[in-house]
Amino acid sequence: MDIAAILILLVGVLITAGTIERKVDRADRRTARVERKLDLVIEHLGIESDSAVPGLDEVRALVADGKKIQAVKAYREATGAGLKEAKYAVDRIEAGGR
């Protein structure tokens, strides 16, 4: 009887953890979409937002040297961004966006 109760409790905990993980993933995707849209608005308005972030000169130098992976790592360290956002930003820098 005790084993059955423990198994039921364990299944409940696993289901709850999975639900929470899906909600966090959904929130992360939503945040990334909002950030991309905000980047487009900032770019359209011609606002230089990256100048206030220290470490981006290093990122630009790494991109210029063809060290894209190191540039993504440096961007993440400088801004606290996630991997996808950092790759997107480095791709923009590489394309001459900023």
Q: Where are the domains of the chain?
A: 1-47, 49-98
CB distance 65 to 87 below 8 Å: no
pTM summary value: 0.48
Q: What is the pLDDT along the chain (98 residues), one digit of tens a residue?
A: 699 889 999 999 999 999 999 999 999 999 989 988 988 888 888 776 655 567 788 999 999 999 999 999 999 998 888 999 999 999 998 887 55
Alpha carbon distance 21, 97 (integer Å): 34
φ, ψ for residue 80, nearest 5 deg: 80, 15
